[in-house]
Every structure is written in C-alpha cells, then in structure tokens.
Chains A and B, each alone.
Chain A
Amino acid sequence: GAGVSQSPRYKVAKRGQDVALRCDPISGHVSLFWYQQALGQGPEFLTYFQNEAQLDKSGLPSDRFFAERPEGSVSTLKIQRTQQEDSAVYLCASSTLFKRGDYEQYFGPGTRLTVT
C-alpha cells in the first residue's frame, strides 16, 4: 500500500519567507510525528499528533514553527520568517497508535529545506 508521502521534496526559500511543508500519513495511522534532521545528524523530534490533537510540541525550536493536523490525517508544518539555521530535512512519520505499544514509525521521504 501507499507509504507516507511528503511535499514538496525540495524547497528553497529566501531568508524571511514563510514555508509550508505537507505530510500525508499512511491511511488510518493515528499517530503522526515531525522531525528535523540536520546534515550528518539523527532526526530530532519536533512535534506529535494523535489524530487532530497536538499532544507534544516540546521540540519546536521557536514560535516561528507551527504545525497542524485539522482533520486527523494530512499535517502541515509551517515555518515563518525562515532563517538559515532552519535549513534541514524535515521528516514526517506515522504509526498506528503509539501509546498502545505499536511503536514502529514509518517515515516519509522528507522535505529538504534550504534557506538562502
């Protein structure tokens, strides 16, 4: 079946621009995660949704970062007034119901954001 998809795959933004990154999780997956992966580093947690509820946003690096999942399926990560340090790959992952012990996360291909 279809896996997690993300769009766009690549995004170049000028410093100060706003960007919106989209994630389509696997159909029926309740849990959705956003990660930021800097070059040569492991994924770092940004935020977590269970259905439409954002239960954890402790990893968002600043108030310029905002995420939503209004209908409990597609999610959007928005970054306002982008800065060069925002350049990274943004990964989305989904899973069935993380809380219940179904821990495997399925990752999307990521969006590579470059801020110039």
Chain B
Amino acid sequence: GENVEQHPSTLSVQEGDSAVIKCTYSDSASNYFPWYKQELGKRPQLIIDIRSNVGEKKDQRIAVTLNKTAKHFSLHITETQPEDSAVYFCAATLRRNYGQNFVFGPGTRLSVLP
C-alpha cells in the first residue's frame, strides 16, 4: 500500500554538527512533501516543505532535497543547536478524488548534545 519510510529512527549529533533525515515514498503521484517538528507533548509544526517541481529548498539552517525519480527526499539541518532536539516527521501527499491527503513517516528522534 501507500507508505512513507523514514530513517534513521533516532539520531544523536553534537551541537554544531549537521543532521540528515531521509524519507522514501511509494506513490509516484505525490507532489508535496512537508517536514514537521514535534517537541515533547506539543503539536506538530511545519518547518519546511517542497513541491515536486523543485529539487531543493533552503530556509536558513534547514534545507530539503527531493529526488522524484528515486522517490526520496531528505531534511538537512546544519549548525545544529540544542533547541533542534525534537521528533521530526516527513509526509507525502496521496491523491484522492477530493484532492489530496497526507501519509506520515514514523518519525526521527533527533538529540543535539551540547
């Protein structure tokens, strides 16, 4: 069925290092790929997104790359800070007759060590 895989499930980095999280999706019709950050006990918040007509997008220390041929996309965080510690979820759209829906990956718990 339609699903999104996400790796790694946990990631620990030293403050100042880079972190990379990778996702793959199965629906070739997917055309929008958001990344959400969820701190403990809080709501998921959108941090960056990319549409299928773009290969890369950057916003300060955060970037997302998309390879539609291989059906994978990645989140890159540079110069990590302790406040980047959270669970990160990727998602991909699924086409439905009313429009589109989301399927989420299982999440990556990122720990930034001071």
Q: How many residues of A contact B (CB 8 A)?
A: 25
Which residues of chain A have a CB within 8 Å of any CB of chain B? Answer: 4, 31, 33, 35, 40-45, 48, 50, 55-56, 91, 98-100, 103-105, 107-110
- Is B44 within 8 A of A103, CB to CB? no
- Is B89 within 8 A of A56, CB to CB? no
- Is A109 within 8 A of B43, CB to CB? yes
Q: Chain A nearest CB: distance from B57 CB in Å?
A: 14
- Is A40 within 8 A of B107, CB to CB? yes
Chain B 30-48, CB within 8 Å of chain A: the 1/0 string?
Answer: 0010101000001111100
- Is B100 within 8 A of A107, CB to CB? no
Give complex CA distance A98, B102 in Å.
10
Which one of B58-66, B70-78, B91-99 contacts A?
B91-99
Which residues of chain B have a CB within 8 Å of any CB of chain A? Answer: 6, 32, 34, 36, 42-46, 49, 89, 91, 93, 96, 98-107
Could you write out 8 A-B pairs with CB less than 8 Å apart? A44-B104, A45-B103, A91-B44, A103-B100, A104-B49, A107-B44, A107-B45, A108-B43
- Is B46 within 8 A of A99, CB to CB? no
Q: Chain B nearest CB: distance from A81 CB in Å?
A: 27
Residues of A within 8 A of B44 (CB): 43, 91, 107
